[in-house]
C-alpha cells in the first residue's frame, strides 16, 4: 500500500511537492494519516496548460491505442484492489468490504470505456442532392476539468476520467480535500499503465472555490464535469456560462422509496437497508424518504427495525463492521441538529437519534416516525444514516409526495403489480428508477438526474458521447 500512497500533485507527469500542505485524517480515529500538497490557482493553471499541450498527440492516437492503455490501467487497479481498499477506508471511513466493492466498481468503468473507446462511430447521411455525401464524425472535446466528491473518491474519479481519456480528451482532476489519497493512488496506476505525461493531471487542494474558478475561467478547458451539491453546481454553471463551456453535473438527490400494499415486505426492507445505510447514508442515490402504504406499515416497520438493530457500527477496518463513521464531526453535528429540529416539530425517534459514544464522527442508524412533508429531514437531502418514514393511502398521494422535491436523481418502487411498475415509474420525476431493486448503478447504465439534480449522463455509451463533439462534413462534387 505504501508504494501507492502519494501526497503530491500530479502535473505534466511529475509528482510536484509544495511547501503548502494540508492534513488528511481518518474519520474513525481522527488521526492524521497524511500531509498533502495544497495547490492553488497557479498549480491548477500549470496543470491545464500541460493538458492542453498533451491533447493533440493523445487525441490523434488510434482508438485501439487509447483502449490498450485503459485496459492496462484497469488490470493494475484490479491487481492492487486490496491496497486501494485499505487506503480508501483509512481516509473515507467506509467498511473495508464496501471499500473493496467501490474499487472494483470504479475499475468496471475503466474496463467499460476501454471497450467503448473503439466504438466512437459516426454516420453517413442520405442527403437530398445526388452529388453530395454527408458524414458525421465524433471528435474529442479537448481539456476536461473534473471535480469529484469525498463519498466515492475512486468510483467518481473513474466515472469521469475513463470516458474522457477514451474519447481522446485530456484531464485535470480536483479530488475532494477530505479524500485525495485514493485519487492519487489510482493516478499512479494510470502512469504505470502508460498514460502519457500531461494527459492526466491531479491538483489537490483545500481552496476549492479558487481552483474551481481557475478551471471555469481558463480558455483551454472545454468541459467541466462536477459531482457534488446543487448549490456548488449552480455556481459552477454560472461561471461556465460566459465561455459556453460544456458541462455535466451530478448534483444532490433526495430519493424517495415507495412501498405499496402488494409489495414483498422482506424484499422492500432489504432494498431499503442497502439503499439507505451503505456508506453511512452518504450516497447521492440513498433512499432519503420512505413512503409506506398504511396497510403494510406495521409489518414493514417491524422488519426494518430488526434489520437496523442488526447493524454493527464501528471503524471501517474492524472485522464485522457494517456501517462506519460519517466523514467528519461537523457532518454529525449538522445531522443531529436536523434530527432534533424534526423532533421539536412532532417527529418521533424510533431508533438512534443520539450522539454516539464511538466518537465524534459517528452517528447511529436512526429511524424517524411521524414525519411531515414540511420538515427539513424530508425536504432536504440528509446525507446521513437517518431514515424518515411516512405512510400513504393511494398511489396518487404517494407519487405526489415523491415528486414534491427539487431533486430528481433516483427513486425506488416496490410492488408486485406489473401495471403499477410501469405507471408509477413513468410518473416519477427522476432520472433513474429502481423497481423492486435498489442496486441500480453500474457502468453500463446512464447515471444522472433531472431537475435540480443535474444534467448529462455518466457511464454507458451516452456517457462517452458527453466527451465528444459532433462534426458534420459535406462532400460535394461527386457526380
Catalytic residue among 284, 286, 443, 458: 284
Q: Is 458 a catalytic residue?
A: no
Catalytic residue among 43, 116, 188, 250: 250
Q: What separation, in Å, do the N-terminal and C-terminal C-alpha atoms of the chain show?
A: 65
472, 476, 478, 479 alpha-carbon torsion, rounded to 10°: 130
Distances (CA, A) of 157 to 16, 100, 370, 406: 20, 15, 39, 26
Q: How many CB atoms lie within 10 A of CB 210?
A: 14
Instruction: Check if the beta carbon of residue 214 is closer than 8 Å to that of residue 49.
Output: no
Q: Which of 456, 474, 363 has its CA nearest to residue 128?
A: 474
Q: Is 284 a catalytic residue?
A: yes
DSSP strands (E only) in 26-91: 32-37
**Rounded Cα–Cα distance for residues 386 and 123 (Å):** 49
Got the DSSP string for 335-370?
Answer: HHHHHHHHHHTT-EEEE--S--TT-TT----EEEES
- Which element (helix H / strand E) includes 102? helix 96-116
Instruction: Check if the beta carbon of residue 135 is closer than 8 Å to that of residue 121.
Output: no
Active site residue ranges: 250, 284
Amino acid at each position: 500500500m505504501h508504494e501507492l500512497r502519494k501526497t503530491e500533485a500530479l502535473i505534466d507527469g511529475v509528482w510536484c511537492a509544495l511547501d503548502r500542505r494540508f492534513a488528511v485524517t481518518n474519520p474513525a480515529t481522527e488521526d492524521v494519516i497524511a500531509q498533502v500538497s495544497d495547490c492553488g490557482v497557479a498549480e491548477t493553471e500549470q496543470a491545464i496548460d500541460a493538458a492542453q499541450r498533451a491533447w493533440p498527440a493523445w487525441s490523434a492516437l488510434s482508438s485501439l491505442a487509447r483502449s490498450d492503455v485503459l485496459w492496462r490501467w484497469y488490470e493494475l487497479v484490479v491487481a492492487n484492489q486490496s491496497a486501494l481498499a485499505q487506503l480508501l477506508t483509512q481516509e473515507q471511513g467506509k467498511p473495508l468490504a464496501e471499500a473493496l466493492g467501490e474499487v472494483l466498481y470504479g475499475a468496471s468503468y475503466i474496463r467499460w470505456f476501454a471497450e467503448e473507446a473503439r466504438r466512437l462511430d459516426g454516420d453517413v447521411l442520405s442527403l437530398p442532392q445526388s452529388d453530395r455525401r454527408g458524414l458525421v464524425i465524433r471528435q474529442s472535446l479537448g481539456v476536461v476539468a473534473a471535480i469529484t466528491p469525498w463519498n466515492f473518491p475512486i468510483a467518481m474519479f473513474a466515472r469521469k476520467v475513463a470516458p474522457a481519456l477514451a474519447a481522446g480528451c485530456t484531464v485535470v482532476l480536483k479530488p475532494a480535500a477530505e479524500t485525495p489519497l485514493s485519487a492519487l493512488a489510482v493516478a499512479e496506476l494510470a502512469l504505470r499503465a502508460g498514460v502519457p505525461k500531461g494527459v492526466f493531471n491531479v491538483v489537490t487542494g483545500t481552496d476549492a472555490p479558487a481552483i474551481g474558478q481557475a478551471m471555469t475561467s481558463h480558455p483551454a478547458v472545454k468541459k467541466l464535469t462536477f459531482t457534488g451539491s446543487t448549490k456548488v453546481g449552480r455556481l459552477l454553471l454560472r461561471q461556465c456560462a460566459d465561455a459556453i463551456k460544456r458541462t455535466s453535473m451530478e448534483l444532490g438527490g433526495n430519493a424517495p422509496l415507495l412501498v405499496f400494499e402488494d409489495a414483498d415486505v422482506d424484499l422492500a426492507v432489504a432494498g431499503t437497508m442497502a439503499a439507505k445505510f451503505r456508506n453511512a447514508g452518504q450516497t447521492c442515490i440513498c433512499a432519503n424518504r420512505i413512503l409506506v402504504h398504511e396497510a403494510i406499515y406495521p409489518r414493514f416497520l417491524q422488519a426494518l427495525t430488526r434489520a437496523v438493530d442488526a447493524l454493527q457500527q464501528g471503524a471501517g477496518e474492524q472485522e464485522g463492521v457494517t456501517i462506519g463513521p460519517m466523514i467528519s464531526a461537523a457532518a454529525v453535528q449538522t445531522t443531529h441538529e436536523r434530527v432534533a429540529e424534526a423532533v421539536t416539530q412532532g417527529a418521533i425517534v424510533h431508533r438512534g437519534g443520539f450522539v454516539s459514544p464511538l466518537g465524534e464522527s459517528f452517528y447511529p442508524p436512526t429511524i424517524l416516525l411521524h414525519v411531515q412533508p414540511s420538515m427539513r429531514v424530508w425536504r432536504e437531502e440528509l446525507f446521513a444514516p437517518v431514515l424518515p418514514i411516512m405512510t400513504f393511502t393511494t398511489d396518487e398521494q404517494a407519487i405526489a409526495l415523491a415528486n414534491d422535491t427539487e431533486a430528481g436523481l433516483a427513486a425506488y418502487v416496490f410492488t408486485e403489480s406489473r401495471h403499477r411498475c410501469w405507471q408509477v415509474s413513468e410518473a416519477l420525476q427522476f432520472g433513474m428508477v429502481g423497481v423492486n431493486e435498489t442496486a441500480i448503478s453500474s457502468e453500463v447504465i446512464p447515471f444522472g438526474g433531472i431537475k435540480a439534480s443535474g444534467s448529462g449522463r455518466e457511464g454507458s455509451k451516452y456517457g462517452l458521447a458527453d466527451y465528444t463533439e459532433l462534426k458534420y462534413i459535406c462532400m460535394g462534387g461527386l457526380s
